[in-house]
Amino acid sequence: MKLYMSPTSPYSRKARVVAREKGLAPEEIIVNPWESPGELVTRNPLSRIPVLEQDSGRCLFDSKVIVEYLDSLNDSPRLIPPGEDRFAVLSWQALADGIMDAVLARMRETQRPETQRSEEWAQRQEAALERALDVAAADCATPLVGKAFTLADIALGVALEYVDLRYGSEWRAAHPGLAEWHEGVAARESFRATAPPAQ
């Protein structure tokens, strides 16, 4: 398998952490989706990452699809459990993806020419981020769902480190319990091995 990814993409990182937790080692190929390179757009016409190319040549894209596929390859461990816990895990993933979406949208807005920026749009993203962090802080437990480490923990851990990467770590002072929860996740080898480069 080949994983087309970027070291700073949180969506790529989620897939990379899942692969390591599952004992899988897809070849990681770094691409820049903003340049729409041919090797990426022939595998995902949307020019988005990550993309997982299976040994058959079939390509899966969108991190949610990729992590579910990777989890299906073996049961050691099962990161998306069956039954009701499945929906709890997927709901945490949706919250975490929303955090990443808001951070990315705000960052992109600040990169636009100053005369084209929308302060209202940036504030909307910041408000969404703050609400999501409040919800995560109120409900965080170790582990987040059931009695085992799951995709919920991976997704939220990756999202919080993306906040660190693009915003800084000020959120930790406002949410000390969430910061403490994150320390446990960040200590895992899968997280240490996929840490994004310092900006």
Question: How would you classify the pairing of strands 27-30 and 59-61?
Answer: unpaired
Return the pLDDT at 20: 98
Q: Give pTM, 2 decimals.
A: 0.96
Return the pLDDT at 110: 85
**Preceding peptide of 197 cis, ω within 30°:** no
Amino acid 73 reads L
Q: Tens place of pLDDT for every residue, the chain, 199 residues? A: 999 999 999 999 999 999 999 999 999 999 999 999 999 999 999 999 999 999 999 999 999 999 999 999 999 999 999 999 999 999 999 999 999 999 999 988 888 898 898 999 989 999 999 999 999 999 999 999 999 999 999 999 999 999 999 999 999 999 999 999 999 999 999 999 999 987 6
| SS3 (DSSP) at 141 | coil
Q: What is the CA radius of gyration of the chain?
A: 17
The answer to whether the CB of 151 falls within 8 A of the CB of 89 is yes
* Residue 151, CA atoms < 13 Å, CB-side half-sphere: 34
Q: How far apart are CA 44 and CA 51, in angstroms?
A: 7
Return the pLDDT at 199: 65
CATH-assigned architecture of domain 84-193 = Up-down Bundle (1.20)
CATH 2.70.150.10 fits 2-72, yes or no: no
Return the pLDDT at 161: 97
Give the CA angle between residues 123, 136, 174 to the nearest 5°. Answer: 65
Phi, psi of 150, deg, nearest 5: -135, -175
CA distances from 59 to 27, 171, 180 (A): 14, 37, 37
Q: Which residues contact 25 (CB under 8 A, 6 or more apart)?
A: 19
> Would you give the DSSP letter of residue 191?
H
Return the pLDDT at 111: 87
Could you tell me the residue ranges of all domains in the chain? 2-72, 84-193
Q: How far apart are CA 40 and CA 14, in angstroms?
A: 19
